[in-house]
Structures are given as structure tokens and as C-alpha cells.
Amino acid sequence: MEILCFHFPLLFASQQDSIPGRAAACPGDRRDSKPLWQKLQALQCHFTWDFELKDKVDAEHNLQTLALKVEHTEYRNRGLYLATKAYLYHLQGCYKEALASLQEAEEALKRDHPTNFSRQVLVTYGNYAWVYYHLVNYEMVELYLGRVHQICQSLSSPEPYSAQIPEVHAQKGWSLLAVGLRNGEEAQKCFQMALRGDASSQEFQAGLAISAFARWTRSWSDDDWEEATRLMENAVRREPSNTEIKVYLATLLKETDRRGAERLAEEVVRESPNPEVLRMASKLYKSSLPQAISILRQAVALAPTYHLLHYDLGVCYRKQMERGKGSPEGKEKLVTAATDCFKRAVETDPLFLFAKLELGHMYVQKSPRYAEELYQNLLEELPTASKRCQQAIYRHWGDFLLHEKGQKQAALEMYQAGYEIPGDHVWEKEQLKDRLKKMARMFQDDQKEAIYRFVQERED
């Protein structure tokens, strides 16, 4: 399919709102004196919600995962996911695709919600208005603003361009979850509000449970684990055939009820046609890499262009190689298999930095000069990379300097640079902290104490 991209300055709502004279430049509405820009700000849609999608990497990754959600969702929210895709296309400047996705969203909503279409379509109409605004088609902006206004009037909303109804709260919750589990806490609030308006909705209850799970994956607190487990167990009882919530529950139970987690995982692998659910199930078999590999191959057969499947498969082969069992020929085969998987992950998503880092790690095994060139190229991307990606680049480059070049001081500087980067990516931070403590033992007393002090000061 041809993708026609119009390259407009892509600013977030909060950024555009701060442009001096911005509102005055917009033509007025014949029906009232408010400029179009002000009305657009009042809409409930992806353009006015904060998704922390700050770069093209996030947008491209989420377009791939959303395609799977559209195909495999357990709920009648396919239209919402298509509307979310339209917003991501907007971030890429691809407005033809954005409009096509919104048309698909509208058609899906009509099929899935024939009796309450108007309550379901507010977010999609809001996205339409914003897309046409970026295309400078103000007549169409007026048209969709008018449709939103008419629906809000019919709902007796006190606001002309928004309505506090359960359907919209839930759509915001699903959208937040769709672009990252990091949004679990905010999504949880959305589903709580939705349930106040419709306490019997299984979809909203499942959304609340998944949000609680997402929140736990960020905090790892006992209280969040207990809440997520309780909500997820209730959700599974209500929907025993829903493999997505089963795999979330299995993940929650894997440390406290290993047998129960394995039973759920076996059911998911046997029953689920969803490649992403199978990918999550494979993570429950860390102690049995051949089984994890088998599950991932099953998922790849269902979605051969899904980058994360190839990445996870490569990680499994790499772990098998690192465990060091078998002949040298067997190790070489595992290196080749892992390398091929990471190459495939990059081919299916050229912006996937973590696949490139893993590919560099595998190049070290056979072609260190390839690894060095790859890392040097990634260092040039540091200014535009996310904080987590920056930490990962410093960690991998530091490892290369230490183990391949024997440059202790240079490696230490890389680990320190990564550790100083702010953010809440716990795993990356812990990896860098562990390396700094190991580095401290390689130096004499004064520098050893300086390294420990460096870590301590940044923990405080």
C-alpha cells in the first residue's frame, strides 16, 4: 500500500498551544467567536491526551503492536485501536494513512456498536478534526467539530465539545495501555471512572485489571501485586477463554504459585492465536529455553513480520550460547541463529535500537570490528535516543571497551555516563550500578572509594 507522507511540523498540543498568536491566526466559527484552535483543544481524543510518544521509534513500534491488537482484541474496541493508529500516522506525517485508518475506525464502530455508535465515535471524530486541521482543511474541521457538538448536545453535556461518559474514559484507558505498560497508573484511573458509569461492564473490569498489572510492572510493589492479582483472578473467572488476561495472571503467579502459573501458560499456548500473547507466554519458560523457543517459533509462523518475536527468539538462542553447554560447533550454530534473528528484527523494524545492540553483542563473538562500527554508529544517535536507549548504548559500549579492548578507564566513564541519566528504567539502572560496583573492585583504594561515592550520591 502506498503511504503518502506530508511533512508538516509535528508539535504536541502543549507545544502548539504556547506559540504566540497561534489562536488569533485561526479563522473564527460563524456560530460563535471561539477560534478553531480553542475548540480543538476541548476535544477528547488522542491529540489532546498525553501519551509520552516523543519520537518516531515509539510511533513505529506501536503501529506494529496495534496491528496485532486490531486483529486479536478480545473486546469491541477495534475501532478505538484504529483511531489510535491514525494518531501515530499523524506523528509520522503520513496523513493519507491517518485518514484511511479513521475511516476503518468509523466502520468498525458501526459494526461493533450499532445501538450506541454516537457515544463510541466521539474520539474518532475528534481525531478527524485534528487531522484535517493539520491538512489546513478548515471546512472539514468545522464538519467534525459540528458532529461532536451535536452528540454532546444529545447527551446533555454541559461542555460543547466533550462529554464525561464511560465509553470515552474507557477508550482513553485502552489507548494508554496500547502505547505502553508504563501508562498503567493513568489507565487505571480511566477505567475506574468508566466503571462509575457502568459497573457491570466486563470490558471495563478487564481494562482495570490489565491496568493494575501494568502498574505493577513499573513499581514491583507488594501492594500493587496483590491488587493486580485479585483483579486479574476475578477477570479470569468472568472470562475463562480470554488468553490475554490468563497470561497476565500467569506472570503475576509465577513466583508464588508456580504450578498454577504453568497450568495457565499451557492453556494459553494451546488455545491462543495471538502472537503477542504467545510471546508473553514464552517468557514464563526462562528455565526451559527449548520450550520458549518452540512457542516463539509458533508465534513467528502466525506473524512473521513482528519484530519483537524475532528479537525474543534471538535472546533465547543467545542465552543458550552463554550457558556454554554442547560442542564448539553447537555454540557456533547458536551464534549464527541468534545473529540471524536479530538481523531479522532490525529488518522488520529498522528503528529497533535494542535489536541493534543485541546484534552488536553477537558480532563480538565472530566479527568484533563489525560490533565496534555498529556501536560507534549508535553513539552518534545518542542525542535523539530515549533515556532508556541512551543508558543501554552506554552499557553495551562500556562492555565492549572493557572486555574486547581492555580499556578499564574508558569503560568506567561509559558506565558512569549511563548511570547519570535520569529516568525510572529500573532494569537498565541496576545493570549499570552492578557494573560500576564490579569496576570499583578493579581499581586501587582512592578510585575505588570514588566510584562507590559516585553511586551513593546518585542514589540519594
Query: What's the pLDDT at 55?
Result: 53
Measured at the CA of 166, the angle between CA 164 and CA 170, to 5 degrees, comes to 110
Give the mean pLDDT of 284-301: 95
**Residue 135: exposed, middle, or buried by beta-carbon count in 10 A (0-12, 13-18, 19+)?**
middle
Q: How many angstroms separate the most distant Cα atoms in the chain?
A: 79
pLDDT of residue 451: 95
> pLDDT at residue 416 above 60?
yes
Q: Which three cell numbers stand for residue 447?
A: 578510585
Average pLDDT over residues 277-284: 97
Residues 6+ apart with CB under 8 A from 311: 341, 342, 345, 352, 354, 355, 358
pTM for the full model? 0.86
SS3 34: strand
Taking residues 349-363, report their average pLDDT.
95
The per-residue DSSP string of 200-229 comes to: T-HHHHHHHHHHHHHHHHHH--HHHHHHHH
C-alpha span between 96 and 105 (Å, rounded): 14
**288: closest CA among 260, 256, 266, 311?**
266
Place of cell 466521539: 122
**Is the model's pLDDT at 57 over the cut of 80?**
no
Indicate whether 457 pLDDT > 50. yes
Task: State the average pLDDT over residues 225-242.
Answer: 97
Express each pLDDT in 17-29 by its tens digit: 433 333 333 333 3
Q: Say which amino acid occupies 324.
A: G
Asked if residue 240 lies in contact with residue 210, where contact means CB atoms within 8 angstroms, the answer is: no
Pairing of strands 28-29, 32-35: antiparallel
Q: Which of 372, 368, 413, 418 is nearest to 394 (CA)?
A: 418
Give the mean pLDDT of 305-317.
97
So what's the pLDDT on residue 90?
94
Rounded Cα distance, 277 and 243, in Å: 7
Give tens-digit pLDDT for 258-280. Answer: 999 999 999 999 999 999 999 99
The tens digit of pLDDT for each residue in 394-415 reads: 999 999 999 999 999 999 999 9
* pLDDT at 1 exceeding the cut of 70: no
Query: What mean pLDDT is predicted for residues 224-252?
Result: 97
